[in-house]
A and B are shown apart, each in its own frame.
Chain A
Amino acid sequence: MLNLIVTIPFLSALILALVYLYNPSKKREKLYASVGVGSILITTILSLNTLYQVVSSGESINTLLYEWISIDNFTINLAFIADPLSAVMIGFITFIGLLIHIYAVGYMSGDEGFGKFFSYFNLFMGSMLLLVLANTPIIMFIGWELVGLSSYLLIGYYHRDGANIKAANKAFILNRVGDFGFIMGILILFLVAGSNGFTFTDIESGISKVSLTTLSFIGVLLFVGAMGKSAQIPLYVWLPDAMAGPTPVSALIHAATMVTAGVYMVARFSFIYELIPNVGEFIAIIGVSSALFAAIIASYQSDIKKILAYSTMSQLGYMFVAVGLGFYDEGIFHVFTHAFFKALLFMGAGAVIIAMHHEQNIFKMGGLKKELKLVYITMFIATLAISGIPPFAGFFSKDAILISAYTSGYTTIWVLASLTAALTSYYMFRLLFVVFHSKENTKSLVKLTPSMTVPLVILAIGATLAGFAQNGFSEFLSITNSSLNIEHSLELMLESLNVVLALIGMGVAYKLYSKDAIEAKANTLVKKVIINKFYIDEIYELIIMKPIVAASKLIANVIDPKGFDLVIKLNVWIYRSTGEVFSKLQNGLVRYYALYMIIGVSAMSIYIIIKLGV
């Protein structure tokens, strides 16, 4: 069954691609939609079935699809494993994926590349499932790369505008930089621990004899891959630019699924990271720094999708705090809840954008709560969830992370994370109030189709209820080793503190933005720096891009023509001049040819006389 879960999306992607390429200009939206959504529907049913089986039987499922490499003892097979971690991941990935596919049918209707879009979308789903279900790091890496590829294809979907292509390139290249670290990590891991075989269980059994320094090295290298994929500092700069893709893409890939692959990877390799808590600290520090950094930038952004992008980066930081400190269950739980409300937020934003004729600046919108009632209510629920206000989902997951940080003794991280929580609440409510409350705009709105509004409702229900699954979640996953021994009263105090911080953020936003929404101007130096996203892009351009481009130019214009070409020309010149010398021998006069023969005979005679002593 796991085989089907992975192959059906790939198959449907192939079918859609072939049908689309056969005649790209024919409008077959119904066909594309039914194949594209239908395959994900089947996959969702199968995944939920798998999850049910794993929950009820308590055992993991292993299936083998294809024996790929088998040399002596070394085998790498295309095999899948559905242990609790994978089962949970495929459960919500397919479910939310299905909802976003349905949403995309409405969002992308009328677009000329409809079939191409669904083909890429299904390709992405297949790759993500491959990544999550793989039972060896190598197959996971194949999924990792394919997901990056799908992301590139989908970000650059509106390919007629050059800026979108640049954004897609940026995403792919930064991903690649991270993948370099990931590959190094896998290679070293194989060298030291791969003697029994290379599935996760085999590595786990072989890990005990590896030195801690090597393990730390491996841990850091694997995390570099996660930095690229999950948009943490310093490899995050692609995520805001990735918003150039269509909104369903941002919802699925850059909010709910692909960017969480890094967190999944750390959880999957938990048996390594348990042994190297220093690296875990490092991961947590990167996580909380990214969270705070992104929150600060988001507070001053004006583009609705960019605000949500930085919000994603911020929440991912929270997840890495959790898995870095060893609280894998809590981290995955936050992935789970975050998928619901972030997808909901993006889809709502997409609905608003469509309604406002593709306007994306929030300060050009306003007072939409009357016209877009359903979108308003669902986005309100999502904003409450992300700010951590009970009883919505985000409260449970964020709290679990903050409390675990506090009780493990990492007070600084706890302080910064709590501060970020307040900021999160502030900027999310700022977005809500500016778009839906403040002063009215007078543009007429586009009607929204049910395919776009129904998924919003379903996700809103999920965002409300998902939090209550927390206990079952931890019991089911049970990867975390450290238990939180904490007094009930202390726990209550910390929780209320979080709620208070969130309410403070909401209050400030209400005061500033619910009546008149004024875009922030860059009049002070601090504001200027923040609005320009701390000039990180420009710094990268200066330190990294310019030297590389200069070096390329140097090689192309100086070293290549003058250096290598010179050697080749010299070679050619030797052959040519030798040829010219020898060609003079062929002058067409037979007399000379006879002379050459006599010379040969003479040489032979001399040889015979001397050697044979005649």
Chain B
Amino acid sequence: MLETSIFIILSLFMLGGSIAIITNKQTVFSVFGFLIVMIGFGGMFALLDNRFLALAQIMVSVGAVVVLSMLAVLSVNAQEKNLPNEPYKYRWIVFSSILVLPFTYLIYKTLSSLAKEFTTNGFTSKDIGSELFNSWVLPFEIVSILLLTAMIGAIVIARKDNS
């Protein structure tokens, strides 16, 4: 009961946040919505008894990604007049949502046919850790190289050309 109500409140926040993401003209407000949605995701992972994942979500997604986005938005510092003017924004949103509806329904129906009840407990860091370093070592290493490459790439792309 408690869990259900927490879930409902959290999901309302997330929905509100995501609507804010897609409908705001000012970029900063969208980033705020992004923030809320990411925190909400962290809460969702916690509701699933997946402590490590919730922690990782808050640390990385919120702490790194959202902050980075905010940094980028503020450093671009677009003035009101330089923001793209989208005259038909709401029409596009309505039209796309109608378009996307069948796909959403299909996904939901497919997924919900899997099971009806949660029957197990959640995972601890120990469980995830042992799984990660037993079967998933290679992806782990590759991800570390990926992060290195992304870092170098980002520096190369974003630096000023002093030519």
For chain B, residues 62 to 100, give those with C-beta under 8 angstroms from any C-beta of chain A: 96, 99-100
Let me know if B103 and A602 touch, CB within 8 A.
yes
- The segment from A94-102, A293-301, A605-613 found at the interface with B is A605-613
Q: A614-B109, A614-B110 are in contact. Are A598 and B96 (CB under 8 A)?
A: yes
Let me know if A609 and B105 touch, CB within 8 A.
yes
Let me know if B103 and A601 touch, CB within 8 A.
yes
Let me know if B100 and A598 touch, CB within 8 A.
yes
Does B102 lie at the interface of the complex (its beta carbon under 8 Å from any beta carbon of A)?
yes
CA distance A601 to B102 in the complex (A): 9
The residues of B that contact A614 with a CB separation of less than 8 Å are: 106, 109-110
The residues of B that contact A595 with a CB separation of less than 8 Å are: 96
Does A585 lie at the interface of the complex (its beta carbon under 8 Å from any beta carbon of B)?
no
CA distance A599 to B100 in the complex (A): 8
CA distance A614 to B106 in the complex (A): 7
The residues of A that contact B102 with a CB separation of less than 8 Å are: 602, 605-606, 609
CA distance A582 to B139 in the complex (A): 44
Q: How many residues of A contact B (CB 8 A)?
A: 10
The A/B interface has a contact count, at CB < 8 Å, of: 24
Query: Looking at chain B's contact residues, is the secondary structure mostly helix, strand, loop, or mixed?
Result: helix
CA distance A595 to B109 in the complex (A): 24
The residues of A that contact B106 with a CB separation of less than 8 Å are: 605, 608-609, 614
Binary contact readout A574-607 vs B (1 if CB under 8 angstroms, 0 otherwise): 0000000000000000000001001101100110
CA distance A19 to B109 in the complex (A): 90
Most buried by B among A595, A605, A608, A614: A605
The residues of B that contact A599 with a CB separation of less than 8 Å are: 99
**What's the interface size class on B, roughly?**
10 to 19
Output the least CB separation between B92 and chain A (Å). Answer: 9
CA distance A605 to B102 in the complex (A): 6
The residues of A that contact B100 with a CB separation of less than 8 Å are: 598, 602
The residues of A that contact B110 with a CB separation of less than 8 Å are: 614
The residues of A that contact B109 with a CB separation of less than 8 Å are: 614
The residues of B that contact A608 with a CB separation of less than 8 Å are: 106
> Residue on A with the closest CB to B99?
A602
Let me know if A598 and B105 touch, CB within 8 A.
no
The residues of A that contact B105 with a CB separation of less than 8 Å are: 605, 609
Most buried by A among B96, B103, B110: B103
Output the least CB separation between B124 and chain A (Å). Answer: 37
CA distance A318 to B43 in the complex (A): 122
Output the least CB separation between A598 and chain B (Å). Answer: 6
CA distance A598 to B99 in the complex (A): 8
Output the least CB separation between B105 and chain A (Å). Answer: 7
The residues of B that contact A598 with a CB separation of less than 8 Å are: 96, 99-100, 103
> Residue on B with the closest CB to A605?
B102
Output the least CB separation between A606 and chain B (Å). Answer: 5
The residues of B that contact A609 with a CB separation of less than 8 Å are: 102, 105-106
CA distance A595 to B106 in the complex (A): 19
CA distance A605 to B110 in the complex (A): 12
CA distance A605 to B108 in the complex (A): 12
The residues of A that contact B101 with a CB separation of less than 8 Å are: 602
Output the least CB separation between B83 and chain A (Å). Answer: 16
Output the least CB separation between A470 and chain B (Å). Answer: 106
> Residue on A with the closest CB to B102?
A605
> Residue on A with the closest CB to B105?
A609
CA distance A598 to B110 in the complex (A): 19
CA distance A261 to B39 in the complex (A): 109
> Residue on B with the closest CB to A606?
B102
> Residue on B with the closest CB to A599?
B99
> Residue on B with the closest CB to A601?
B103
CA distance A599 to B101 in the complex (A): 11
CA distance A609 to B100 in the complex (A): 13
Binary contact readout B104-119 vs A (1 if CB under 8 angstroms, 0 otherwise): 0110011000000000
Output the least CB separation between A495 and chain B (Å). Answer: 112
The residues of A that contact B99 with a CB separation of less than 8 Å are: 598-599, 602
CA distance A606 to B105 in the complex (A): 10
Output the least CB separation between B108 and chain A (Å). Answer: 10
CA distance A595 to B97 in the complex (A): 12
The residues of B that contact A601 with a CB separation of less than 8 Å are: 103
CA distance A614 to B103 in the complex (A): 12
Output the least CB separation between A610 and chain B (Å). Answer: 9
Output the least CB separation between B87 and chain A (Å). Answer: 15
CA distance A281 to B119 in the complex (A): 116
> Residue on A with the closest CB to B113?
A614
> Residue on A with the closest CB to B107?
A605
CA distance A599 to B98 in the complex (A): 11
The residues of B that contact A605 with a CB separation of less than 8 Å are: 102-103, 105-106
> Residue on A with the closest CB to B104?
A605
The residues of A that contact B103 with a CB separation of less than 8 Å are: 598, 601-602, 605
> Residue on A with the closest CB to B101?
A602
> Residue on A with the closest CB to B103?
A605
> Residue on A with the closest CB to B109?
A614
For chain B, residues 30 to 87, give those with C-beta under 8 angstroms from any C-beta of chain A: none
CA distance A608 to B102 in the complex (A): 10
CA distance A614 to B105 in the complex (A): 9
CA distance A449 to B64 in the complex (A): 118
CA distance A609 to B105 in the complex (A): 9
CA distance A598 to B92 in the complex (A): 13
The residues of B that contact A606 with a CB separation of less than 8 Å are: 102
Output the least CB separation between B60 and chain A (Å). Answer: 27
CA distance A409 to B131 in the complex (A): 126
CA distance A605 to B100 in the complex (A): 9
Output the least CB separation between B7 and chain A (Å). Answer: 26
> Residue on B with the closest CB to A610?
B102
Give me 23 A-to-B residue pairs in the complex whose CB atoms sit less than 8 angstroms apart, sorted by A's number. Answer: A595-B96, A598-B96, A598-B99, A598-B100, A598-B103, A599-B99, A601-B103, A602-B99, A602-B100, A602-B101, A602-B102, A602-B103, A605-B102, A605-B103, A605-B105, A605-B106, A606-B102, A608-B106, A609-B102, A609-B105, A609-B106, A614-B106, A614-B109
User: Which A residues are closer than 8 A to B by beta carbons?
Assistant: 595, 598-599, 601-602, 605-606, 608-609, 614
Closest 10 CB pairs of A and B: A605-B102, A605-B103, A605-B106, A606-B102, A614-B109, A602-B99, A602-B102, A601-B103, A602-B103, A598-B99
* Extra 11 A-B pairs, beta carbons < 8 Å, given A602-B99, A608-B106: A598-B100, A598-B103, A599-B99, A601-B103, A602-B101, A602-B103, A605-B105, A609-B102, A609-B105, A609-B106, A614-B109
